[in-house]
Amino acid sequence: MENTQTETTYQNILVEAKDQILYITINREDKMNALNILTLAEIKSAVLAVYQDSSIRGIILTGKGTRAFAAGADIAEFANFTVEEGTRLSDEGHAVLRAIDNCPKPVIAAINGFSLGGGNELAMSAHIRVCSEKAKFGQPEVNLGVIPGYAGTQRLAQLIGKGRALEYLLTGDMIDAQKALQMGLVNHVVPAEELIAKCEEILNKIKTKAPLAIASVIRCVNTFYEKKADGNLTEINEFGNFFGSEDFIEGTQAFLQKRPANFKGN
């Protein structure tokens, strides 16, 4: 099938195909590449198209600019969501990230800066992560009075282990690139100017292997983690419930008003 990716018009992502690699760039630099609903839908659409596209052998997913890969879900967009809207957001976010995780062609996240909240969950759904030396990672949702909603409670524990995942999920602390490498959150740390080249080097090697074997390896490894389906459902329901809590309103408003949050436990 011919590649039609670059003919599709997207608003919030840039999509370019070159040498059998599809480059997807989140293009909301002024908002730290925050993932609003449209951006997630566009990423899903671009990734799903690759499933059937024999001209593409792998994906590099990155963020525009030098500051952020993606600084999370769009806080301004979801700050006033109802419980139902929050649950739907989480459900759809899980579906987008599953589309990446289950992609039969390797997806590499090229993490060029902040990888926070939903942005880090997006990065964790990729098969391989490469970051620049100045990348910073974290799940700061507890600062907003909410929890990760795009499988962060599941994938962070899978990648770095339960004890370390719980520490970062509970404190919201940021993780620098070297620490991320040491814990297995990323596969490689490289200077910023070598980030894309490193991802291309990995994909060019994988491109020489049998595509059916590559797809099968991804499927087999993923099957191991599918046993954790209940954890995902718990997260979707609990995330949605936060949209009915006073602390969530306080946390998101505090962020938007650039002041510290004052949580009451409601």
Tell me phi and psi for residue 264, to 5 degrees.
-115, -10
First-to-last CA distance in the chain?
A: 54
Measured from the CB atom, is 42 or 74 closer to ligand COA? 74
Nearest to 232 by CA among 117, 149, 147: 149
Measured from the CB atom, is 232 or 252 closer to ligand COA? 252
Is 16 one of the catalytic residues? no
How far from 56 is each of 21, 32, 34, 50, 61, CA to CA, in Å?
6, 28, 26, 6, 14
Minimum CB separation of residue 87 from ligand COA in Å reads 15
Is 141 one of the catalytic residues? yes
What does the DSSP assignment read for 26-79?
A: E--GGGTT-B-HHHHHHHHHHHHHHHT-TT--EEEEEESSSSEEE-SB-HHHHT
Minimum CB separation of residue 28 from ligand COA in Å reads 9
Q: For residues 158 and 165, give the distance between their C-alpha atoms in angstroms, rounded to a whole number.
A: 8
Minimum CB separation of residue 107 from ligand COA in Å reads 22
Q: For residues 110 and 104, give the distance between their C-alpha atoms in angstroms, rounded to a whole number.
A: 19
Measured from the CB atom, is 56 or 144 closer to ligand COA? 144
Residues at the contact surface with ligand COA, assessed by CB under 6 A? 31-32, 34, 71-76, 114, 116-118, 140-141, 144
- DSSP summary character for residue 145: T
Measured from the CB atom, is 103 or 180 closer to ligand COA? 180
Minimum CB separation of residue 72 from ligand COA in Å reads 3
Residues in the chain: 266
Q: For residues 253 and 139, give the distance between their C-alpha atoms in angstroms, rounded to a whole number.
A: 18
Catalytic residue among 42, 92, 141, 167: 141
Catalytic residue among 121, 167, 235, 250: 121
Measured from the CB atom, is 208 or 262 closer to ligand COA? 262
Minimum CB separation of residue 70 from ligand COA in Å reads 8
Strand order in the sheet with 114-116: 68-70, 114-116, 136-138, 175-176
Query: Which residues participate in catalysis according to the annotation?
Result: 121, 141
